[in-house]
């Protein structure tokens, strides 16, 4: 259940790994969107699979592009971030895993792309022909609002390419990761993309898995319950707790402090957006959070007119909206506890 990945613990995700391995064995026919709340481990999961499964299979042509941290402000910088000059060094085995994100071209051809003389997307289709391809893109929302020329939006062209490579040509598996749910909602509401895509949610871990993991780490049953009450199955926050517990008086004190910090985030949002002046909006926020405190979720299927305020809270990563089932969750359980604190003072 606990594996080691990059010298650190890698917990569970067996079902997701199995699902992806099977997916890659099938004929590519749809874009696969992997989405989920902040820090549930989407990137870690995909990188685990790339390193432990895909790279070992020499028959696969794997490209993994993570746009996080890449400064893409124009079409030129996009080209620079995925195309690279071919040289002998880049062909070596050692470089196979380091060069995953780049397409390699002869210097002369690369120049033509930079001068916008050749259509990059036609090139990419050719590049994929005759191979078993897997293309993985993380943080794709970075490509939003960038134009190739006056008429063409980069993101649209790129997603058109993805549809061609999957549904029409069956040439490459395409996996796209995002935790930006506002962005995902737009994709989901675009009929063409919805019909050519499938969506897989990566949630925080369930109680049983957290319990198993924390028992190995010598936590007692009542401590595990308390941790889950505050942090849910948020691996990143639980790892932080394990690293920092020694600096706290007690487990309870640590968790309460985390809730106070999360409360500050919500309060800051109310302050900065001057929400307190907008009675209707404040009422809506209170209602959403009441539902979350009661049911652990807010069911948008039951209540209309809440998506605007939910979008704002998704932007600052306090809430997570799942467009596939039309339900809103806290991004992490700690925001539910934080709102309980806010209510205590009301
Ligand atoms: N299965 C796992 N086992 C152990 N640690 C994990 C696991 N998944 C994620 N983590 C840890 O949690 C943190 C967040 O993971 P990661 O960045 O992969 O999440 P993400 O869903 O891609 O986040 P974002 O929403 O910001 O893109 C990392 O520090 C990572 O090491
Ligand atoms: Mg990520």
* 9 close to ligand 1 (CB < 6 Angstrom): yes
CA of 80 to the centre of ligand 2 (A): 22
Looking from the CA of residue 13, the nearest atom of ligand 1 is 1
Q: Whose CA is nearest to atom 25 of ligand 1?
A: 38
Alpha-carbon distances of 302 from 251, 286, 337, rounded to whole Å: 38, 16, 23
pLDDT at 89: 60
Residue 288: predicted pLDDT: 97
Sheet of 60-66, strands arranged across: 60-66, 132-138, 172-178, 31-35, 197-201
pLDDT one-digit tens code per residue, 166-213: 999 999 999 999 988 888 988 888 888 889 999 999 999 999 999 999
* Residue 42 Cβ contacting ligand 1 at under 6 Å: yes
**235 CB within 6 A, ligand 1:** yes
1 token code pair: 């259940």
In this structure, the residue with its CA closest to atom 7 of ligand 1 is: 41
pLDDT of residue 99: 59
Closest ligand 1 atom to Cα of 37: 25
Dihedral (C-alpha) 185, 191, 192, 198: value to the nearest 10 degrees?
Answer: 60
Give residue 119's pLDDT.
81
Mean pLDDT value across the chain:
91
Residue 13 Cβ inside 6 Å of ligand 1? The answer reads yes
Q: 226: CA distance to ligand 2 center in Å?
A: 27
| 10 pocket-lining for ligand 1 (C-beta < 6 Å) | yes
Taking alpha carbons only, the member of 75, 192, 190 closest to residue 143 is 75
Pocket lining: 43 vs ligand 1, CB cutoff 6 Å: yes
Residue with tokens 């359980």: 333
Regions of the chain where pLDDT drops below 70: 88-99, 117, 346
Asked if residue 209 has its Cβ within 6 Å of ligand 1, the reply is no
Instruction: Decide whether any atom of ligand 1 lies within 6 Å of the 179 Cβ.
Output: yes
Task: Report yes or no: 196 and 30 within 8 Å, Cβ to Cβ.
Answer: yes
**Residues measured by CB to lie within 5 Å of ligand 2, the ion:** 42-43
**Ligand number nearest to the C-alpha of 38:** 1
Nearest atom in ligand 1 to the alpha carbon of residue 36 is 21
Q: Residue 97: what pLDDT? A: 52
What Cα–Cα distance (Å) separates residue 33 from each residue in 73, 214, 294, 304? Answer: 24, 30, 30, 26
Measured in Å, residue 279 CA sits from the centre of ligand 1 at 37
The reply to whether ligand 1 has any atom less than 6 angstroms from the CB of 204 is: no
**pTM strictly above 0.85:** yes
Please tell me the predicted confidence (pLDDT) of residue 90.
Answer: 53
Q: Is the CB of 40 under 6 A from ligand 1?
A: yes
For the CA of 45, the nearest ligand:
1
Cβ–ligand 1 contact at 236 (below 6 Å): yes
């Amino acid at each position: 259940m606990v594996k080691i990945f990059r010298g650190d613990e890698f917990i569970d995700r067996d079902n997701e790994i199995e699902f992806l391995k099977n997916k890659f064995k099938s004929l590519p026919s749809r874009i696969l969107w992997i989405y989920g709340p902040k820090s549930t481990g989407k990137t870690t999961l995909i990188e685990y699979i790339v390193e432990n499964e895909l790279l070992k299979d020499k028959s696969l042509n794997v490209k993994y592009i993570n746009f996080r941290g890449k400064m893409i402000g124009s079409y030129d910088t996009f080209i620079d971030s995925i195309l690279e000059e071919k040289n002998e060094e880049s062909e070596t085995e050692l470089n196979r895993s380091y060069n995953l994100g780049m397409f390699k071209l002869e210097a002369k051809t690369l120049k033509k792309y930079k001068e916008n003389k050749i259509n990059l997307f036609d090139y990419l289709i050719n590049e994929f022909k005759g191979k078993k391809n897997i293309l993985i893109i993380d943080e794709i929302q970075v490509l939003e609002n960038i134009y190739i020329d006056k008429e063409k939006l980069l993101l649209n062209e790129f997603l058109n390419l993805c549809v061609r490579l999957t549904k029409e040509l069956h040439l490459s598996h395409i996996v796209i990761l995002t935790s930006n749910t506002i962005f995902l909602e737009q994709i989901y509401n675009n009929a063409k993309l919805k019909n050519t895509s499938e969506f897989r949610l990566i949630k925080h871990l369930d109680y049983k898995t957290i319990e198993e993991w924390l028992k190995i780490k010598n936590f007692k049953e009542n401590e595990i319950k308390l941790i889950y009450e505050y942090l849910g199955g948020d691996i990143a926050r639980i790892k932080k707790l394990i690293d920092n517990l020694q600096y706290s008086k007690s487990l309870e004190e640590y968790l309460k402090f985390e809730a106070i910090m999360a409360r500050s985030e919500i309060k800051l949002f109310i302050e900065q957006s001057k929400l307190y002046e907008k009675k209707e909006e404040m009422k809506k926020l209170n209602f959403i959070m009441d539902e979350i405190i009661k049911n652990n979720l807010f069911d948008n299927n039951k209540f209309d007119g809440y998506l605007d305020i939910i979008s704002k809270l998704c932007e600052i990563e306090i809430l997570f909206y799942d467009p596939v089932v039309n339900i809103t969750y806290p991004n992490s359980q700690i925001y539910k506890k934080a709102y309980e604190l806010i209510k205590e003072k009301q």
